[in-house]
Structure 1
Amino acid sequence: MARAQGARAQMALAFESVYGTPPAADSYWRMPFASSSLGSEQPLLNSELLGYGRDPLPPVRDAITADGDVSVPIDLRFLGIWLKALFGAPTTTGSVAPFTHEFQSGSWTLPSMAIEIGMADVPHYAMNVGCVANSISWTMQRSGLVTATVNVIARGEITGAASSAGTLTGLELQRFGAFNGSVSRDGSQLGSIVSGEITYSNNLDRIETIRSDGMIDGADPSVAALTGSINVRFADTVLLDQAIAGDPCELSFAYEIDADRRFELKAHAVYLPKARLPLEGPGGVQATFEWQAALDTITGRMATATLINDQETYDNP
């Protein structure tokens, strides 16, 4: 009897043209991922009824919830698929490689996806339909693997013993390394950064109407948020002065292999709180700034994500 193993699992993803309706077979990307909790669950409600002795009556099934987190690499090509899910379709420039894909925050319409998690050993294939990307978060540091966590809210899950995705289309995987990372403030490299955390959220609102199939009607984007923190060795008062003054700055978080292979998330108007400077021993002093981004009146948006690579389009294969 075969037992399911994560090493043999696969993830297929395609953008839906109709919310909640998976595309036809052979139009899916084969996606790299480190872990996934995406799927549906249906809890049981304990019976509250009395009069039948000490042994409880059978439980009642509650509403179905379909969502989860997917851990994905921050890479040169596949990242664009997740950015499209988070921000909407990009504006792509360039007639030949390299192509520049620019994703802008603020869109009221986000594409939905069909994501199938397959385990061929059992076999078990779970097609999550109506998937909308809720948030992405990752940590920047000096070393280690560069991965992001994408939170997804799905309409529902359809399971079967065979894949509905057909033949998958892959891309060449080229990951960014931690040493490729940089943090800039107003266009200049920001020194003494020990680590940083970035979270972009669409703050999706589940439309939980009464339905016989247990699925939701949709997940609508609300007011977005771009927040995070930077842990800084205290060497100057630039950030502290800005926090006290209450003025915004532009923060850029980037990974670059070369000019033709680059990813950058730019927060156009970032506000810093005044941070305390704890002394925790004879070593260096570090300060943590929990920053928040807001609408920038000059650019007309909060954030811009730019991915430069050799991928011409992010339409379904």
Structure 2
Amino acid sequence: MAGGRARGANGRLLLGMEASYGALLSVLTWFQTPFVSANLGDEQGLVESDVLGFGRMPQEPGRDAVNNAGDVVVPLCARNIGLWYTLLFGAPSTVAGVAASGDLTFSAQPANNATITVGGQLFTFTTGTVGANQIKIGPTLKATIANAVRALNASAVPGVAAASYWGDDAVQKIYVLHDAVGVGGNSFALAASAAAVTVSGATLAGGSATGGYRHTWKVDATSLTTPSATAEVGMPEVPSYTQNYGLKANTYGVPLQRSGNLNATIGAIAQGETPVAASTIKADPSVLVMRKFSAFSGTARRNGMPFGPSLVSGQFNYSNGADPVPTVGRGDGRIGGVDEGMAGVTGSVGIRYDSTEMQTQAENGEACELAFSWAIPGTTFALRHVAHAVYLPKAKRPITGPGAIQADYNWQGAQDPVTGRLVTFVLDNDVEEYVVPDAA
């Protein structure tokens, strides 16, 4: 008996991590995940017959191999996006608590030989040649803050290296966030000798062993394999429910934009799809209540400093370089698995041309750190994407009319020789854990 016509508004997407590749029955926990669109499912084409001897009449076509690859577009939700990161990278390192933070505020250019103390280490501002633990006073306060952020982030002093630093020239601050979640960061010392610099307190504050969770996904030389999942696509009006098993996430992309819905696109490859069933595999799945990041809250930083008002667009892309295994002899036409290939991180930034700094970096072949971040005001929910060693191409600056001139840089990331990482994703929220079940 025919059911109703399926509508996307009533569509349902369940996601469950597999203990073994392609084993949908090994899923221990199913999550109903919010989504914008889903393009998963088997495709099996027809092969035109090459048989002769029947005159002009074509004969029955053959059936081709089965492929299952497509995109899932999901909102950048502070809770549910962690499920997709776990599929992309594996289980994160999770720590309970909130990291300590603080700041240094500049009211003017620091004087020559003025000092700040960060993490127990004294740094001296200088107008001369920069040596160890010295910060160059630039021609503007913005340049000085940028020099300070670079010096702090590059420091090998253990106390200093225990935190991360970024600047905001609009409010003339350097923000300090302890890398370790918990109360330990509350003893991290801050001080300043000059009236031009004011610290938020003698130490960082706000570090707590409770109040949230920090999940960290890192891609480095140890990131050899990624987990698989099963995704059920449900259309209850028909009813029609199918499970796409052996699902591996290959690509990820998210824009940096001023307005509009903030969505991420996941490119995935599955081994296969079950026949259509009239009932769901899980009637009462777990639900992580949606809390979306908004596009307006996005920030982009280069070497810890914001791009400023001239950044008009951005894109962050990651790829696992997935390589489907075209197995023969299975008898079902499906792939035998998916091998992880060369990881890659790429993207773009569109800049209203107001400085030669990025063009100079491109000409010199130097690397920089790029970070795209979002936060939900009034909460501890935050998300950071960090590409640790980014290289810029030389870009044209075309004059096409009387309006603004823009340079578009399609950047590429590489393994950072210091951290050994390609990229790091950090998600702060209230979800206790993201789990990949142990192999059966």
Question: Residues 277 and 12 (structure 1 numbering): CA distance in 2 closer, same or farther, change over 3 Å?
Answer: same
Residues in 1 aligned to 2:314 and 2:76: alpha-carbon distance in whole angstroms: 15
Distance 2:311 2:383 in 1: 19
The residue number in structure 2 matching 1:99 is: 213
8 Å contact from structure 2 (residues 79, 429) kept in 1: yes
Provide closer, same or farther for how the CA distance between residues 299 and 48 of structure 1 changes in structure 2, counting only shifts above 3 A: same
Q: Which of 84, 88, 101 is the aligned partner of 2:86?
A: 84
Work out the CA distance in 2 between the residues paired with 1:225 and 1:178: 24
Aligned to 2:415: 295
Alignment of 1:233-272 (within 5 A): 233-258=352-377, 260-272=380-392
Answer yes or no: is 1:197 the counterpart of 2:315.
yes
Name which of 339, 343, 364 aligns with 1:224: 343
What is the root-mean-square deviation in Å for CA atoms of aligned residues? Answer: 1.5
Task: After superposition, give the CA deviation of every residue in 1:287-309 in whole Å (9 maximum; x if it has no partner).
Answer: 00010000001111110000000
C-alpha offsets along residues 76-135 of structure 1, whole Å, 9 cap, x if unaligned? 100111111111111011153311100011311211001000111111111010100000
| Residue pair 2:20, 2:26 contacting (<8 A) in 1 also | no
Note the C-alpha offset of 1:214: 2.3
Is the Cα–Cα contact under 8 Å of residues 26 and 166 in structure 1 kept in the other structure?
Answer: no
Q: Determine the structure 2 residue equivalent to 1:281.
A: 401
Q: Structure 2 matches for 1:4-43, cutoff 5 A?
A: 4-23=6-25, 27-43=29-45
Residue 225 of structure 2 is matched in structure 1 by 109
Cα distance per residue 1:227-270 (max 9 Å; x no partner): 01111000111111100111000000111124711001000000
Structure-1-length-normalised TM-score = 0.97
**Distance in 1 between the 2:411 and 2:368 partners?**
11
Alignment of 1:50-89 (within 5 A): 50-89=52-91
Equivalent in 298, 306, 309 of residue 181 of structure 1: 298
Q: Which amino acid aligns with 1:134?
A: N
2:9 counterpart letter in structure 1:
A
Going from structure 1 to structure 2, the CA distance change for 1:308 and 1:138 (only over 3 Å counts) comes to same
Give the distance between the partners of 2:50 and 2:77, measured in 1 at CA. Answer: 51
Please, which moves more after superposition, 242-251 or 1-10?
Answer: 1-10
Tell whether 2:271 aligns with 1:152: no
Larger radius of gyration: 2
TM-score (norm 2): 0.70
2:430 to 289, 293, 310: 310
Q: Kindly state the Cα deviation for residue 25 of structure 1 after the two structures are TM-superposed.
A: 7.7
- Stretches of structure 2 that go unaligned for 5 or more consecutive residues are 98-209
AA in 1 matched with 2:224? W
Distance in 2 (CA, whole Å) between partners of 1:51 and 1:129 is: 42
Q: Distance in 2 between matches of 1:166 and 1:26?
A: 14
Letter of the aligned partner of 2:219 in structure 1? S
Structure 2: distance between partners of 1:25 and 1:248:
42
Task: Tell me by how many angstroms 1:165 deviates.
Answer: 2.5
SS in 2 for 1:241: helix
Shift of 1:140: 1.2
Q: Which moved more, 1:165-174 or 1:121-130?
A: 165-174
CA distance in 1, matches of 2:300, 2:60: 57
Structure 1: gaps of 5 or more residues? none
